Amino acid sequence: MAFLQRMQEALPSRHEVKRRRWVFVPYDRLNDRTGPLARLKADEAGIILLESERKGRNRPYHKKKVVVVLSNLRHFALEQLARGVAVLYRHGPESYGEQLLRLQREYALPPIQLALPAERELREDLSLAQKDGLRLDYVEDDAWVSTREDWVRVFGEPQRETPRGGGRESGRQYLMERFYRYMRKKTGLLMKNGKFAGGKLSFDEQNRRRYKGEVRVPRRPSFPPDDITREVIDMLSHNGIETIGTFEGFDLPVTAKDCAAYWRFALEQLLPFFGPYEDAMSAEEPMLFHSAISALMNIGRLLPGEVVADVQAAYEDKRVPLASAEGFIRQIIGWREFMRHIHDVTDGFRTLTQNPDPPGNLTANEYSHLLVKERNRAAPDLPAMPSALNAHLPLPPAYWGVRSGMFCLDTAVGQVLEQGWTHHILRLMVLSNLATLCGFSPRELTDWFWVTYVDAYDWVVESNVLGMATFSDGGLTATKPYVSGAAYIHRMSDYCGRCALNPKQATGPGSCPFTALYWRFLERHEKVLGGNQRMLMPYTTLHRKTDQERAALRERAERAVEQLQRGEVVD
């Protein structure tokens, strides 16, 4: 039977509706172990689950992302019904807030409980409906490992009351390491007698091995589409909502049981080797030992607190070595939590100085129309556009699959368009590195990541791209730009051997453009970066180059940017 019809038949009676306490569980909190639902007995709880076409029309998301979200949402509804929880499930054209308001009026519901949403976009959507009369009862979101108080204890109160464009948070700097150090002590993870296990906070320097096939990468379990997933795919194929990528090969877990089984596999089979090969890139083994759990954790199917507790237990049982356990735990209680706070305290990067110059010479208003496909009440404000390096070139066709001849770039783009996922180093040191070096618009790059990745949500994608990867926030998130020439990619991957371009040659035809782009980048941004202590070495090297060498590097770099912009093969 069709899923929505099943939901219609499972509707609670008016009497049941009245008797139960109602909780809104959004698309990204699909569990009964956190939030208000966790505090209710199954037979006194009712949950509201919504599919909003308005959300789908905001951006042309990757097909696999929409499927993983909606199929998990639908399976969650069935799992909760089986537990004895009453479910009001709706699919509608309106925003979440509008649908909630309609339901509240229809059933005369008292204030609906919910955890404070992770996505700013959802908070905005709900607050608009509240102005129209929607009554909500928010509680703190305990799906996170840290709280706002933790952040304030480490960094003090944010300066967020600034109006848009005021730039009050500009010039501040938040160090992830400080936050992570605090979180290790707070959680007691990998601590021994009050000291860091192994005698130090981080084992990052042990985690930089290139992959040469010495350890076989285990085959991941696959979860082919069931009836519900197939129905979602069918709906998305016919509802006229624009998406990108492909449904082909969808095999992500969509039930609570399969999500847990997938995590067990990652913990037992991948985690032991995660650390050493964390930064490696391989054409043969694109996923290497990365867990690829972000899509599941970001919709609440896996909980960060539970995941790190499992890693701690595996470390204690000697199933996962310390360097891998530490590296992984740092990503979650360090980077993941840090990023969501950065997004929160900057009001989604809106309290930073904004770039007056959006890509393609459009006005900011025109650009925001382009980004938000259908102007609507759910996304009424302009996107954040900080750009400390004043980068504004449009993202070139290579990011949409037009062959550039740069093997690393074409490999990363091919993988993401097909799968909706690449691991961290491809995101940072290939896709973002190239964009930063060339001066492509960080806003456009952010929106590209937002639509192409299955794990992208505003709090994590904006903070990673605008913050960590492109230095658009002027150093709020990262002490220096994450940029490099060809040497890094050559050292950490097997890509360059398969590329027509030469990583050891910096100028002239056939040279790898990364190196020339790197020196031209340093030259162009000397005013902003020249005084940065962490950039001292590269600037010293740059200053040793002759005028002739510099001119040749500039020429090579500019030719590559022009070729990319025209959609041509870089040669």
Question: Which residue of 115, 129, 465, 553 would you call a contact of ligand FAD, by CB under 6 A?
Answer: 465
Site string for ligand FAD, 241-280 (x = CB under 6 A): ----------------------------------------
Among 460, 478, 501, 542, which residue interacts with ligand FAD (rule: CB under 6 A)? 460
280 binds, among ligand FAD, ligand SF4, none (CB under 5 to 8 A by kind): none
> How far apart (Å, rounded) are the C-alpha atoms in residues 53 and 378?
11
Least Å distance, CB 263 to ligand FAD, is 10
Give 263's DSSP letter: H
What's the min distance (Å) between Cβ of 517 and ligand FAD? Answer: 17
368 binds, among ligand FAD, ligand SF4, none (CB under 5 to 8 A by kind): none
Of positions 146, 170, 294, 477, contacts ligand FAD by CB under 6 A: 294
Considering only residues 86, 87, 197, 297, which one is a binding residue for ligand FAD as defined by CB under 6 A? 297
CA–CA–CA angle 278, 281, 285 (5° rounding):
100
By CB under 6 A, is residue 324 in contact with ligand FAD?
no
Residue 553, strand partner residues: none
Q: Which stretch binds ligand FAD (CB under 6 A): 199-207, 247-255, 346-354, 447-455?
A: 447-455
**Running DSSP on this structure, what letter comes out for residue 428?**
I
Residue with tokens 């590209």: 448
Rule CB under 6 A: is residue 408 a binding residue for ligand SF4? yes
Looking at the Cβ atoms of 86 and 466, the one nearer to ligand FAD is 466
Size of the site for ligand SF4 (CB under 6 A): 13
Min dist CB 262 to ligand FAD, Å, is 11
Q: What angle do CA 145, 331, 344 make, to 5 degrees?
A: 55
C-alpha pair distances (Å), 399 with each of 218, 244, 440, 506: 30, 13, 11, 23
- Which of the listed partners (ligand FAD, ligand SF4, none) does 460 bind, with a CB threshold of 5 to 8 Å by partner kind? ligand FAD
Report what 197 binds from ligand FAD, ligand SF4, none; CB cut-off 5-8 Å by kind.
none
For the CB of residue 459, give the shortest distance to ligand FAD in the complex, in Å.
9
Q: Which amino acid is at 535?
A: M
Segment lying near ligand FAD (by CB under 6 A), choices 75-83, 162-170, 451-459, 551-559: 451-459
List the interface residues with ligand FAD, window 469-508 (CB under 6 A): 469
Q: Quick count: other Cβ atoms within 10 Å of Cβ 151?
A: 22
Least distance to ligand FAD from the beta carbon of 512, Å? 21
The residue range among 23-31, 44-52, 81-89, 456-464 that interacts with ligand FAD, by the rule CB under 6 A, is: 456-464
What would the 3-class secondary structure string for 305-354 be? HHHHHHHHHHHHCCCCCHHHHHHHHHHHHHHHHHHHHHHHHCCCCCCCCC
Q: What's the distance, CA 384 to chain centroid?
A: 16
| Token couple for 295 | 């899509």
Segment 471 to 510, residues that bind ligand SF4, using CB under 6 A: 486, 489-490, 495-496, 499, 501, 503
Rounded to whole angstroms, the maximal C-alpha distance in the chain is 83
How many other CB atoms sit within 10 Å of the CB of residue 293? Answer: 21
How far is 140 from 35, CA to CA, in rounded Å? 8
Tokens of 15: 């009497």
Per CB under 6 A, which of residues 334..353 are in contact with ligand FAD?
335-336, 339
For the range 100-107, what are the long-range contacts, defined as Cβ-Cβ under 8 Å and sequence gap of 24 or more?
100/24, 100/48, 100/50, 100/126, 100/129, 100/134, 100/136, 101/129, 101/132, 101/133, 101/134, 103/48, 104/134, 104/135, 105/133, 107/14, 107/17
What is the chain's percent helix, strand, coil content, to nearest 5? 50, 5, 40
Q: Shortest approach of ligand SF4 to residue 550 CB, angstroms?
A: 20
Q: Given the rule CB under 6 A, which residues bind ligand FAD?
A: 290-294, 297-298, 328, 331-332, 335-336, 339, 423-424, 427-428, 432, 449, 453, 455-456, 460-461, 464-465, 468-469
Q: Given the rule CB under 6 A, which residues bind ligand SF4?
A: 406-408, 486, 489-490, 495-496, 499, 501, 503, 512, 514
